[in-house]
Structure 1
Amino acid sequence: MFIADGHCDATLRQFEAETPSFTEGMTITESSLREGQVNMQLFALFAPVYDERADLFDAVLRQVDHFYNLIVSNDQIEFAPCTPLTETSKTRAILALEGADGLQDDWMKWRLIKRLGVESVGLTWNESNALAAGCMEEQGHRLTNKGREVVTFLRNEGMIVDGAHLHDDSYFEAASLSDSFFVSHANSRTIHNHPRNLTEEQLQVIKDKNSLVGMTFFPKFINGSEEATFADLLRHIDHIAGSIGSDYVGFGSDFDGIPQSVSGLESPRGILNLIDYMQKHYKEDDVRKFAGENYRRSITNTLNATQTATTVNDLSQLSKIKRNCQRRCVHPLRV
């Protein structure tokens, strides 16, 4: 079974550690990925916006350095940007950027992270920046002019826009301007009302884009407490799969970025236990989709879209999705 996890903060933990490692001291390690039989792991580069003293782009580059020196250099890891996902004994690493505060609209920096192998970009963390509104802002807004330029760059470069952490209005516009769009780690706002979770309209965008949302294992986003069970997590999966279909759900653990996790899911090793539990509640085909096949399909679609986005059919579909998303933007534009 192909197993994929759409989000972790391992490189941030390495950046913060006195002695960076990929073998100990973290949740995501070479052994935990191997024992959990994880075939694809997305590694997020995070600019520590909560640290006023930090040079944000320097922090991103240092995490890239750890990614190459500690993770990619490991025999367990395969790093082959912009190529199809295959099921092997190794873990395919995908590099992502979570929050663009360290880049803003500096095109040299954007070209550099593309050349370094970044395939997915989230425009914000929880707060707003010069590009977009973050999900924790009470008064949100659509993308700024700079934000639209960045999304256009990402589209032209065949990169994926990650809607996690975006305020609702920025989310809809980012989706409307993107060829490839997904949400790496979030759950259902209907099941638990938290700004980091997705509304029904946001979930419909995932279906419109033929993409997916990765279920995060953070109890605070599952039920609002510090503890959660497999059953609690499955309530989100049940709802989303029932609302938009089983083709649009995956995993987005947020390991190494969360202080608590679902009981039994404290590391990638626990994913096999989750799959065993899911097999008692879902058809085998759906379990395979949730575990990783939906990610494999989504990545394949991204590769195909990069090659064919200029065809008449693709442009027509993009225009339809854009109109649907624009109708959902309710706050006035701020730049």
Structure 2
Amino acid sequence: MSGIHESSIVIDGLIIAKWERAVFEDMRKGGLTAANCTVSVWEGFQDTVANIADMKKLIRDNADLLTLVRSTDDIRESKHSNKTGIILGFQNAHAFEDNLGYIEAFWDMGVRVVQLCYNTQNLIGTGCYERDGGLSGFGREVINEMNRVGIMVDLSHVGGNTSMEAILESKKPVCYSHCLPSGLKEHPRNKSDEELKFIADHGGFIGVTMFPPFLKRGIEATVDDYVEAIDYVINIAGEDCVGFGTDFTQGYDKGFFDWITHDKGRHRRLTNFGTVLNPLGIRTIGETPNLTAAMEKAGWSESRIRKVLGDNWLRVFKDVWGS
């Protein structure tokens, strides 16, 4: 592990791994200071509360490795105490159901990042795989309430029209926590140069992912391809509003991907990712130091590396969370 990696704040903008001790040990091996950890996708309010309760028990049971993040001070403290801070995040606002009051309730539970839609349409707006009608009236109210309580709006799986309207509606920075540029590969989940510039120009944030189906070389990709993708986004958006969000699915099998990619209508499937094999050099969370090494190999300055590893995420989280 390089000196830069070891001394940096390292924040992964999105992990949806199978939450268990082996994954948490790998987070420590990888030197992660904090990670946005998915606790809700398709679950409603009640099942999401149960997921949060389970995650909090895991944090207690693995207190030698983990701590719960409610503020950026908690992230700094996790760095100081050599633990990984767990940021509770949703990949779908489905759990808000049709009740604005649930948003503050979830904030009270510790939720700090919520993606508005997951691939398809919900009460708020439309995902990236459907014809996009934009943000609903309820969606505008949801964003305003998320702004008020201090939950970050995530637009990674959200459609272009809904994303643009959400960016304009929000009074706080919003993010693509885990996306790739369509300039390197055309895919419904990837963002165009115009979309990347638009979110950056409006004070938003971009976490670059390495999910192989969205990478230029797919399962042939290496950690150097990942750095190339991050560099591509920086060239459009600038190095101050870019971080990384791997989208690690560590510990999951095919059944998980079948569940995650389901569509409205029984037995309907949205997409088939085929083989999911992370880039060579960063196949597991524990290999995260190789990302820093690849940035160094690419000739990045130390200040740029520290920003992308976590300093940028830390700043934007403080803007949104208020502490």
- Where on the TM-score scale, by shorter chain, does this alignment land: which range? 0.7 to 0.9
Q: How high is the sequence identity, in percent, across the aligned residues? A: 27
Asked whether the equivalents of residues 36 and 113 of structure 2 are also in contact (C-alpha less than 8 Å), the reply is no
Partner in structure 2 of residue 196 of structure 1: 189
Deviation at 1:72, TM superposition (A): 4.6
SS of the residue corresponding to residue 7 of structure 1 reads strand
Deviation at 1:240, TM superposition (A): 1.1
Amino acid in the other structure paired with 2:10: I
Distance 2:241 2:72 in 1: 21
Determine if the alignment matches structure 1 residue 34 to structure 2 residue 28.
Answer: yes
Partner in structure 2 of residue 79 of structure 1: 68
Partner in structure 1 of residue 136 of structure 2: 144
Partner in structure 2 of residue 272 of structure 1: 289
Deviation at 1:34, TM superposition (A): 0.9
Determine if the alignment matches structure 1 residue 297 to structure 2 residue 315.
Answer: yes
Determine which of 234, 237, 251 is the counterpart of 1:241.
234
TM-score (norm. length: structure 2): 0.82
Amino acid in the other structure paired with 1:74: N
Amino acid in the other structure paired with 2:66: I
Determine which of 94, 98, 104 is the counterpart of 1:111.
104
CA RMSD of aligned residues (A): 1.9
Partner in structure 1 of residue 222 of structure 2: 229
Partner in structure 2 of residue 329 of structure 1: none
Deviation at 1:94, TM superposition (A): 1.0
SS of the residue corresponding to residue 96 of structure 2 reads coil
Check 1:196–1:62 CA distance in 2 against 1; reply closer, same or farther (3 A cut). Answer: same
Asked whether the equivalents of residues 230 and 262 of structure 1 are also in contact (C-alpha less than 8 Å), the reply is yes
Cα deviation 1:135-191 (Å, max 9, x = unaligned): 011x21210111111111111112210011110000011111111311110011111
TM-score (norm. length: structure 1): 0.80
Partner in structure 2 of residue 187 of structure 1: 180
Partner in structure 2 of residue 6 of structure 1: 13
Distance 2:89 2:139 in 1: 17
Deviation at 1:231, TM superposition (A): 2.5
SS of the residue corresponding to residue 101 of structure 1 reads helix
Cα deviation 1:204-227 (Å, max 9, x = unaligned): 233224342112121111126333
Distance 1:297 1:176 in 2: 20
Distance 1:82 1:240 in 2: 27
**Structure 1: where are the runs of 5+ without partners?**
15-21, 49-54, 308-335
Partner in structure 2 of residue 122 of structure 1: 115
Deviation at 1:296, TM superposition (A): 1.5
Cα deviation 1:28-68 (Å, max 9, x = unaligned): x22111111100111112233xxxxxx63333122112210
Asked whether the equivalents of residues 173 and 203 of structure 2 are also in contact (C-alpha less than 8 Å), the reply is no
Count of residues in correspondence between the two structures: 285
**Structure 2: where are the runs of 5+ without partners?**
1-7, 251-256, 258-275
Amino acid in the other structure paired with 2:320: T
Asked whether the equivalents of residues 47 and 57 of structure 1 are also in contact (C-alpha less than 8 Å), the reply is no
Matches within 5 A, 1:153-168: 153-168=145-160
